[in-house]
Amino acid sequence: MAHALPEHGRPPDEILQDLRGFGAHDPNYKDARLWSLVYWLDEPYADFLGQAWQAYSSANGLNPSAFKSLKQFETQIIAATAELLHGGPETCGVVTSGGTESCLLAVKTYRDRARATRGVRHPEMVVPTTAHVAWFKASEYFGVKLRLLPLDDKLHADVSKLESMINRHTVMVLGSAPEYPHGSIDPIEAMGAVAQKHGIPMHVDACVGGFILPFMAMNGVVLPPWDYRVPGVTSMSADLHKYGFAAKGASTITYRNLELLKHQMFVCEDWPGGVFASPALLGTRPGGAYAAAWAAMQRFGVAGYRDLAARTQQAFERMRAGIEAQPELKVLGEPHGPLLAYGSATPEVNIFAVGDQMDAKGWQVNRLQFPDGLHAMITASHLPVIDDYLRDLRDAAATVKADPSLAGKGRAATYGMMAHLPLRGMVRHKVLDLFANSYRAGGPPLNLDAPASEGGAQPPLLERLAARYVAWRQRR
C-alpha cells in the first residue's frame, strides 16, 4: 500500500514538510489562476482563519448544551444571516458543513413535512434544470422524484410551466440565487407566487449568492427580488465558506419559522445511550468551522463585505465586457454576477478546445454542457488578473479558429464526448466505474481527462468513449 501507517511516529517538522509537498500539483489558486472551489484573499487572512479554527479545533458541536461557545457562535451566525436575507423575527436555522448538507436538509425537511401534514407517500419536487447537482443528489438519497423545470431561450427557468408541474405529490419548489451554470437569478418572485398559491414550500438556494448579493445591492447593483422579502419563500441556504470567506466547512440553512425547522430535526428518545437529538445531518460537528465562520463575519463586517463585493463586481463587469468584445465568443444567459459562463459564437471555434488552450496557459477553467461552455466563479482576488485572462482568451480562440482539429484532441475530445454522446447511461456507467476505482485503498488519484499524450495517463475507458464519440460525430 502506497501510504501505509508508519511503524513508528515521525518528527512533526518532517510531517509538516511532507504536507506542504503534497500540494505541489494542486491548482494555483493563490495567484488567482483557478476559477472555482477556492475563495482566497492572502496569507495573513488565511493565518487568521487558521488561528480561529485552532482555538476550537477540539470542540464538538454534537451536543450544544456541552459546548455553549459553539452554540453562541451558531446563534450569532444565524442571526446575522437572517438579517442579511431579510428574514423576520421568527427566522431560525442551523450552521451546516457546506452547501450540499444545506440542500439535502431542505429536501429531507419538506419530504417529512408533506408526509406528516398531507400524507404524501410518493414525494416530488420541482427544480429548474440549472439547479445545483446537490439537489439531484438529495433526490436520489431521500427518494424525492425530480420534476425538472425547463429553461427559456435566454437560459432562465421558464416559470410559465411551473404551475402545470405542481401536483398532489409536490413537497417543495426550488429557485436559485444565482444558479451555478450561468449565474442568473431564477425568477424567485414569480415562482414564489405560484408556490404560495398552491400552499407548497419554496426554498431558495443562495449557497453562492447569500453572502455577496446583499452587499451588491447595498452598493447599488439592481437585483430582482430573491430572498425572504418574497412572500412564498419559506427557507434559504447560504454558504459562509464561499463569498463569506470563512474556512471550508461552513454553510447555513434558515427557515421562516420553527414549525418548518422541526421537520429537519432528528430525535431518538429510546436509545440506550440516552435521549438523542440532532438538528442536522452530521453528529459530530467540528468546532473550528463554527469559530472560523464567526471570526470571518466579525473580521469583515458590512463595510468589509461591501468592499469585497464591489471589487468582485468590477472584475465581473470587466470580464463580461471583454468576452462580449470577442466575436468568436458569447456570454451564456443573463448573469447578474459573480458567476459567468461563455460559449462559442461560431461553429468554427470549439469552446472545449479553447478551454484546453487556457489550461495550457496556466488557467484552470471549468467546462459546462447543455449548452457547451466555460465557467468562471469570479472573486475580488481575480480583479488584478482579468486583463491577462482576456488576453490569453483572445489568443486561445484565435488558435482554435486557425486549427479546428484541436476539437478532437485532449480534454476537448473527452468533454465533447461526455456532453454530446447520446448514450447517457453508458457515460454514467463508465464514469462511475472510473470514479469508484480511484477509491481503492492506496489506488491512483482520479484523472478523468488528462490528455492521452501524457504517458497514456488518460483513462482507457474515457479514451475509448472519446474515440467512439469522434467517429459518431464524423458519421453525422
pLDDT of residue 470 exceeding 60: no
Instruction: Spell out the domains of the chain, with CATH numbers in brackets.
Output: 54-297 (3.40.640.10), 310-403 (3.90.1150.10), 410-475 (no CATH)
Are residues 458 and 450 in contact, defined by beta-carbon separation less than 8 angstroms?
Answer: yes
The dihedral through the CA atoms of 64, 66, 70, 75 has a sign that is positive
Three-state DSSP class for 77? helix
In this prediction, residue 459 carries a pLDDT of 47
In this prediction, residue 453 carries a pLDDT of 34
Dihedrals phi, psi of 259, to nearest 5 degrees: -60, -35
Are residues 352 and 311 in contact, defined by beta-carbon separation less than 8 angstroms?
Answer: no
Report how far residue 213's alpha carbon sits from residue 472's, in angstroms, rounded to the nearest whole number: 44
SS3 content of the chain, % helix, strand, coil (to 5): 45, 15, 40
| Average pLDDT estimate for 184-210 | 98
In this prediction, residue 458 carries a pLDDT of 43
| Average pLDDT estimate for 127-136 | 97
Are residues 3 and 442 in contact, defined by beta-carbon separation less than 8 angstroms?
Answer: yes
pLDDT of residue 475 exceeding 80: no
| Average pLDDT estimate for 13-39 | 91
Region of poorest pLDDT, from 56-60, 153-157, 330-334, 436-440 = 436-440
Kindly state the percentage of the chain with pLDDT values over 70.
89
Residue 315's contacts (CB-CB under 8 Å, 6 or more residues apart) are 378, 379, 380, 382, 383, 386
Report how far residue 88's alpha carbon sits from residue 257's, in angstroms, rounded to the nearest whole number: 9
Cell 409536490, residue?
A: 170
pLDDT of residue 325 exceeding 80: yes
Q: Treating both helix axes as pointing N-terminal to C-terminal, what angle do 68-84 and 287-324 enclose, rounded to 10 degrees?
A: 30
Q: What is the pLDDT of residues 143-165, one digit of tens each?
A: 999 999 999 999 999 999 999 99
Cell 470514479, residue?
A: 435
Report how far residue 52's alpha carbon sits from residue 469's, in angstroms, rounded to the nearest whole number: 50
Residue 180's contacts (CB-CB under 8 Å, 6 or more residues apart) are 130, 132, 208, 339
Q: Which residues of 205-233 are buried (b: 16+ CB within 10 A; e: fewer)?
A: bbbbbbbbbbbbeeeebebebbbbebebb
Are residues 73 and 250 in contact, defined by beta-carbon separation less than 8 angstroms?
Answer: no
Report how far residue 339's alpha carbon sits from residue 75's, in angstroms, rounded to the nearest whole number: 30
